[in-house]
């Protein structure tokens, strides 16, 4: 590292990159950033201080920003990467949008962060393979910050490595050998347009309201701050017609970024569909996380032969919850996801009941919740509390109803999907239970309880590899699980009891095939 470049300069460089390009790099990339900064300082014949001052005060010209983009956004990709999403595009999104555009007969698809073009060309190939009716116009646009990547995309020349997941018949139909490489046929190259664009900037000419049918923006949002990512997603939401589709990276989620989309799950992948104008969710404020104490250890025995359905164990060990009263009591443990979602001004009773419940003052908490108004009872936080209570008491039908009511407000609520998994297991609907657990895990990879539930279900069906994987994940996540979420979803078990359960089950699985 250049002696003149230290931690202070790197901090300023990170700030400048976020401000000018919208790109975010964590501390694990500091060596990489130091190398980039060293090269750029040398190329401009400036001191690090002068170079950073120019970046931070926006005095640097666009050519320097383009050079930085080249250095910072080199990404490896290939045709039909994560093919499950392309299958969902071909078999769900494309037919739905073609039907929706039957009058205008125009289809618009965007690949945002398109890199060297493999993604938008993959989409164009699928459009050609499907075939469009006469007079139907379909356009694919690729956007990227890196001008070198866009130049490669326009050339349409790719190595065999870029085609490693492309079926042979598609290679023969849409590519022509050129030396050791392959070039896309001219008609396909000319069907895709590419433009340089920074996604943190407004672009009315590219993202006009309701103009788009499908947006692919995969493995891009992770590079932005949460505020910038949220703004980008909302620009996509405005540009997508109601019912349009958004595909993001398979490890990315809109949870905490947007309420403008419904979650979809087909073809073994998750993606999103733009809500209609009539079912857009009302914005709500977020209170700080409720710091609930750990549930007191329940008097349960977690023996090595523990094979009862998880929900039955929850019922047996939730005496504290059953003591609260009748099934229609509007009580339950505190927060589910991140902060508790409540309206800041008009729900003091709900906040009071959460605090009382955290102190184990259950009768007082019940009384406080009985005083909630009808509108307060419909709040997402109150609905989740009620759904958890009903689930633990075994009132499966009503718990499912309340969960679905909550998901109409927020279908990205991992807690509601987990509770539905418990309910469906109780009904003997194991496949549906697994689906909801997997959705909860997708929405919140740090949520321990769905992993535990998946592990226990796999153990019962003698799927030892899956059981070991899920129970191992649950064991590591339980160590740092939020106390409030354990109180809500732990079924009366303490953290130590849940950890003992995981260790016991994993021990029993040793030697299993």
Same domain, 254 and 356: no
pLDDT of residue 306: 33
Final residue of a structural domain among 45, 72, 99: 72
Same domain, 89 and 11: no
Tell me: pLDDT of 366 over 50.
no
For 44-66, how does the pLDDT look when each residue is reduced to its tens digit (9 = 90+)? 888 888 888 888 776 656 677 77
Same domain, 146 and 255: yes
DSSP state of 436: H
Same domain, 244 and 339: no
Higher pLDDT, 284 or 451: 451
For 264-285, how does the pLDDT look when each residue is reduced to its tens digit (9 = 90+)? 999 999 999 999 865 544 433 3
**CB neighbours of 36 closer than 8 A, spacing ≥ 6?**
68, 71, 72
Same domain, 123 and 271: yes
Tell me how far apart the alpha carbons of residues 382 and 38 are, in angstroms, rounded to a whole number.
Answer: 54
Tell me how far apart the alpha carbons of residues 274 and 279 are, in angstroms, rounded to a whole number.
Answer: 10
Tell me how far apart the alpha carbons of residues 381 and 387 are, in angstroms, rounded to a whole number.
Answer: 10
Q: What is the CATH number of the domain that holds 374?
A: 1.25.40.10
At residue 1 the predicted structure's pLDDT band, cuts being 50, 70 and 90, is very low
Burial 320-347 (b: 16+ CB within 10 A, else e): bbeebbeeebbbbbbbbbebbbbbeeeb
Average pLDDT, the chain: 80
Question: Does residue 287 fall inside a structural domain?
Answer: no
Question: Does residue 302 fall inside a structural domain?
Answer: no
Question: Does residue 202 fall inside a structural domain?
Answer: yes
Final residue of a structural domain among 259, 279, 299: 279
Which H helix or E strand runs over 31?
A: helix 30-44
Q: Report yes or no: 248 and 224 within 8 Å, Cβ to Cβ.
A: no
At residue 324 the predicted structure's pLDDT band, cuts being 50, 70 and 90, is very low
450: closest CA among 296, 424, 375, 127?
Answer: 424
What would the mean pLDDT of 439-443 be, rounded to a whole number?
94
Tell me: pLDDT of 344 over 80.
no
DSSP codes, 39-58:
HHHHHHT--HHHHHHHHHTT
Tell me how far apart the alpha carbons of residues 54 and 40 are, in angstroms, rounded to a whole number.
Answer: 12
Residue owning tokens 């890199």: 115
What would the mean pLDDT of 413-419 be, rounded to a whole number?
94
Question: Does residue 115 fall inside a structural domain?
Answer: yes
Tell me how far apart the alpha carbons of residues 302 and 255 are, in angstroms, rounded to a whole number.
Answer: 34
At residue 508 the predicted structure's pLDDT band, cuts being 50, 70 and 90, is confident
Tell me how far apart the alpha carbons of residues 277 and 274 are, in angstroms, rounded to a whole number.
Answer: 9
What would the mean pLDDT of 218-241 be, rounded to a whole number?
91
Tell me how far apart the alpha carbons of residues 409 and 412 are, in angstroms, rounded to a whole number.
Answer: 9
Q: What is the CATH number of the domain that holds 99?
A: 3.40.50.150
Q: What is the CATH number of the domain that holds 64?
A: 1.10.155
pLDDT of residue 12: 84
Tell me: pLDDT of 294 over 80.
no
Final residue of a structural domain among 279, 295, 330: 279
What would the mean pLDDT of 386-407 be, rounded to a whole number?
84
pLDDT of residue 364: 61
Same domain, 437 and 330: yes
For 164-200, how does the pLDDT look when each residue is reduced to its tens digit (9 = 90+)? 999 999 999 999 999 999 999 999 999 999 999 989 8
Question: Does residue 345 fall inside a structural domain?
Answer: yes
What would the mean pLDDT of 424-429 be, rounded to a whole number?
91
Q: How do 175-178 and 137-144 pair as beta strands?
A: unpaired
Same domain, 496 and 420: yes
DSSP state of 90: I
Cα separations (Å) of 442 from 192, 264, 283? 32, 12, 23
Tell me how far apart the alpha carbons of residues 402 and 388 are, in angstroms, rounded to a whole number.
Answer: 9
Q: What six digits make up the tokens of 46?
A: 């400036």
Tell me how far apart the alpha carbons of residues 143 and 160 are, in angstroms, rounded to a whole number.
Answer: 24
pLDDT of residue 510: 80
Same domain, 128 and 275: yes
Higher pLDDT, 109 or 255: 109
Domain count, the chain: 3
Most confident option among 128-142, 261-275, 477-491, 494-508: 261-275
What would the mean pLDDT of 146-152 be, rounded to a whole number?
91
Tell me: pLDDT of 94 over 60.
yes
Most confident option among 182-196, 254-268, 489-503: 182-196
Same domain, 259 and 389: no
* CA end-to-end distance (rounded Å), the chain: 50
Cα separations (Å) of 349 from 132, 135, 335, 353, 373? 57, 60, 15, 6, 9
pTM confidence score: 0.74
pLDDT of residue 347: 58
Question: Does residue 421 fall inside a structural domain?
Answer: yes
pLDDT of residue 357: 53
pLDDT of residue 332: 36
Q: Which residue range forms the structural domain that includes residue 26? A: 7-72
CB atoms under 10 Å from CB of 299, counted, come to: 9
């Amino acid at each position: 590292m250049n002696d003149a470049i230290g931690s202070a300069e790197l901090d300023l460089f990170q700030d400048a990159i976020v401000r000018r390009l919208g790109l975010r790099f964590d501390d694990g990339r500091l060596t990489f950033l130091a190398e980039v900064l060293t090269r750029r300082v040398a190329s401009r014949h400036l001191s690090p201080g002068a170079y950073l001052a120019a970046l931070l005060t926006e005095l640097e010209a666009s050519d320097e920003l383009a050079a930085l983009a080249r250095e910072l956004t080199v990404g490896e990709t290939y045709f039909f990467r994560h093919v499950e999403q392309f299958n969902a595009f071909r078999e769900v999104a494309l037919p739905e949008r073609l039907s929706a555009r039957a009058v205008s007969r125009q289809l618009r698809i965007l690949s945002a962060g398109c890199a060297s073009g493999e993604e938008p060309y993959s989409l164009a190939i699928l459009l050609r393979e499907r075939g469009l009716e006469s007079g139907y116009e379909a356009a694919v646009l690729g956007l990227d910050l890196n001008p070198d990547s866009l130049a490669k995309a326009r050339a349409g020349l790719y190595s065999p490595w870029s085609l490693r997941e492309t079926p042979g018949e598609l290679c023969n139909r849409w590519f022509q050998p050129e030396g050791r490489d392959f070039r896309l046929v001219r008609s396909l190259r000319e069907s895709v347009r590419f433009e340089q664009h920074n996604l943190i900037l407004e672009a009315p000419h590219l993202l006009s309201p309701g103009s788009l049918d499908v947006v692919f923006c995969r493995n891009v949002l992770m590079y932005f701050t949460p505020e910038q990512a949220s703004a980008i997603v909302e620009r996509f939401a405005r540009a997508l017609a109601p019912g349009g589709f958004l595909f993001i990276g398979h490890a990315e989620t809109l949870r905490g970024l947007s309420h403008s989309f419904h979650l979809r799950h087909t073809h073994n992948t998750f993606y999103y569909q733009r809500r209609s104008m009539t079912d857009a969710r009302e914005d709500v404020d977020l209170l700080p996380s409720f710091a609930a104490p750990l549930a007191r250890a329940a008097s349960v025995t977690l023996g090595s032969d523990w094979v009862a359905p998880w929900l039955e164990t929850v019922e047996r060990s939730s005496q504290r919850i059953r003591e609260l009263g009748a099934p229609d009591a509007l009580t339950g443990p505190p927060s589910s996801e991140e902060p508790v979602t409540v309206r800041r001004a008009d729900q003091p009773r709900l906040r009071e009941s959460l605090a009382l419940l955290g102190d184990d003052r259950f009768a007082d908490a019940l009384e406080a919740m009985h005083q909630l108004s009808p509108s307060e009872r419909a709040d997402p936080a109150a609905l989740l509390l009620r759904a958890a209570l009903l689930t633990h008491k075994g009132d499966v039908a009503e718990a499912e109803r309340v969960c679905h009511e909550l998901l109409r407000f927020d279908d990205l609520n991992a807690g509601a999907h987990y509770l539905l998994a418990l309910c469906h297991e109780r009904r003997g609907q194991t496949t549906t239970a697994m689906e909801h657990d997997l959705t909860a895990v997708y929405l919140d990879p740090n949520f321990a309880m769905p992993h535990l539930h998946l592990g226990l279900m796999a153990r019962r069906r003698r799927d030892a590899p899956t059981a070991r994987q899920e129970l191992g994940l649950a064991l590591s996540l339980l160590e740092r699980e939020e106390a409030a979420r354990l109180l809500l979803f732990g079924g009366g078990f303490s953290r130590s009891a849940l950890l003992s359960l995981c260790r016991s089950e994993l021990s029993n699985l040793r030697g299993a095939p």
